[in-house]
Amino acid sequence: MTPGPLAGIRVLEVGHILAGPFATMLLADLGAEVTKIEPPGGDLSRQVGDSYFASINRSKRSVCLDLKSQEGQERLGELVTEAHALLVNLKPSVIRRLGLTYDSLRHRNERIVCVALTGYGLEGGDDPAFDYVIQAATGVAALTGDPDGPPTLPGYSAVDNSAALTAALGLLAQVVSGRGGQVDVALHDVMLAQLNYRAAAWLNEGAAPRRLPNGAHSYYVPAQLFPTAEGHLALFITHDGFWKTFADEAGIDGFPTMAERAERRDEVLAVVTRALAADTANGWEARLRPLGIAVAAVRTLPEALDAAPGMIVEAGDFRLVGSPIRIAGYEPEHRPPPRLGEHGGVTVVPHS
């Protein structure tokens, strides 16, 4: 079997719940050796449930250490000596108190890459920064939902997952450089960066972002959800050629240019809504996809998983969603999530 592109890279993880563990699991899927350093009580996600823990911790090792103890710190130092990177997902004050920064560890390993994944940055303080709070603080919630309704949130952890991807990228970038150092990734900044064109429109043109019905795109028309004879359809028309193809299939006349469709948004949406009422969401998908139109019936998660069996992997007794990164000639080995302290360490029960 071809080794993974990250074979030989050793990554330590000190974190909990989602963002940090998901980042390191993606690295493990690519062949890195990931050692999860857990406190005596274990990662908090173990308390959520076995499948939850497995979903972000497959293919890792677990070492149980009390980092508040001298013995735990000594063992941490030994692990750092042999590691390429350490990713930490804790409050800034805790990261510093436990000595998990580059400045604290460089004497152990000058080339260690230390990644701090926090709510507002290593210098940003300890204010609680859970996913939904960050969505509210960065304008994401205000952009989500219908304009006549309240702000809302997506049904999954958009901030934590996005921050995980960003932290993994930052970690690899510094490892590739061959230099040790501190990498600082803030959940708050990750989400602001993802509002790229919305933010640019405000900063450069004074165009305030606004919510549009049915999740409509602010530039492209039609690009949103539409009701059909049965179910809802996501339709995304980006240029005039796609519009002509769609309009011919749907029996719609007029609005040939992007500028005209944007200017006459309400008229276009009314015409498209009437046309789409003639068939079901699945029917329109079957008709439009072969024509190259970006379209999909709205599915539930179980339906989406059934439609993508190649994304399901087995890790021990768990069936999980696999890595989105496919490397030609490489097939990841999906090992089950580790038992707490399965790979050693010093377990010290803190005094009450």
- Which CATH number covers residue 246? 3.30.1540.10
Give the strand order in the sheet containing 232-236.
223-227, 232-236, 294-297
What DSSP string describes 201-226?
Answer: HHHHH-------GGG--SSSSSEEEE
Task: Answer yes or no: is pLDDT of 347 > 70.
Answer: no
| 229-244: average pLDDT | 97
Residue 153 has pLDDT above 90, yes or no: yes
Q: What 3-state DSSP class applies to 186?
A: strand
Question: Looking at the domain assignment, is residue 262 inside a domain?
Answer: yes
- Statement to judge: residues 183 and 219 lie in one domain: no
Strand pairing category for 223-227 and 232-236: antiparallel
Report the distance separating Cα 88 and Cα 40, nearest Å: 17
Asked whether residue 32 carries a pLDDT value surpassing 70, the answer given is yes
Decide: helix, strand or coil at residue 285: helix
pLDDT-based confidence at residue 13 (cuts at 50, 70, 90): very high
> What pLDDT, on a 0 to 100 scale, did the predictor assign at position 351?
35
Residue with tokens 């972000």: 56
Q: Are strands 113-118 and 181-186 parallel, antiparallel or unpaired?
A: parallel
Q: Which residues pair with 88 in a beta bridge?
A: 14, 116
* Domain co-membership, 261 together with 176: no
Residue 270 lies in a domain: yes
Q: Is residue 70 part of a domain?
A: yes
Asked whether the predicted pLDDT for residue 192 surpasses 80, the reply is: yes
Tokens of 73: 């710190």
Tell me the mean pLDDT in the region 293-302. Answer: 97
Interval 73-81 mean pLDDT: 97
Catalytic residue positions?
160
From 222, 225, 303, select the one nearest 266 (Cα to Cα): 222
Q: Which two tokens stand for residue 148?
A: 């006549």
Measured between alpha carbons, how far is 68 from 296 in angstroms, rounded to an integer? 51
Average per-residue pLDDT for the chain: 96
> Do 14 and 152 have their domain in common?
yes
**Rounded Cα gap, residues 350 and 304, in angstroms:** 45
Q: Are strands 232-236 and 294-297 parallel, antiparallel or unpaired?
A: antiparallel
| Residue ranges making up the domain that contains 240 | 214-227+232-297
Rounded CA-CA distance 1/155 in Å is 38
What's the confidence (pLDDT) of residue 349? Answer: 43
Whether residue 140 has pLDDT greater than 90: yes
**Same domain, yes or no: 170 and 275:** no
Radius of gyration of the chain (CA): 24
**Mean pLDDT along residues 320-340:** 96
Average pLDDT over every residue of 49-54? 97
Residue 272 lies in a domain: yes
User: Band of the pLDDT at 350, cuts 50, 70, 90?
Assistant: very low
Whole-angstrom Cα distance, residue 96 to residue 57? 25
The answer on pLDDT for 38 being more than 60 is yes
Q: Are residues 187 and 275 in the same domain?
A: no
**Does pLDDT of 352 surpass 80?**
no
Q: How many other CB atoms are found less than 10 A from the CB of residue 203?
A: 9
Question: How many Cα atoms sit within 13 Å of 189 on the Cβ side?
Answer: 12
Tell me whether residue 266 is in a domain.
yes
For residue 286, tell me if it sits in a domain: yes
Contacts of 301 (CB under 8 A, 6+ apart): none
Res 346: pLDDT: 60
pLDDT at 336 over 90: yes
Please tell me whether residues 98 and 178 are part of one structural domain.
yes
Q: Does residue 340 form part of some domain? A: no
Q: Are residues 57 and 109 in the same domain?
A: yes
Please report whether residue 2 resides in a domain: no
Average pLDDT of 91-108?
A: 98
Nearest alpha-carbon partner for 52 in 42, 66, 40: 42
Do residues 123 and 254 share a domain? Answer: no
Residues 108 and 181 in one domain: yes
Instruction: Say which CATH number the domain at 111 has.
Output: 3.40.50.10540
End-to-end CA distance of the chain: 49
Number of folded domains that form the chain = 2
Q: What percent of the chain has pLDDT over 70?
A: 98
Are both 34 and 90 inside the same structural domain?
A: yes
pLDDT at 239 (0 to 100): 94
Shared domain for 30 and 164, answered yes or no, is: yes
Q: Do 220 and 157 share a structural domain?
A: no
Averaged pLDDT for residues 143-161: 95
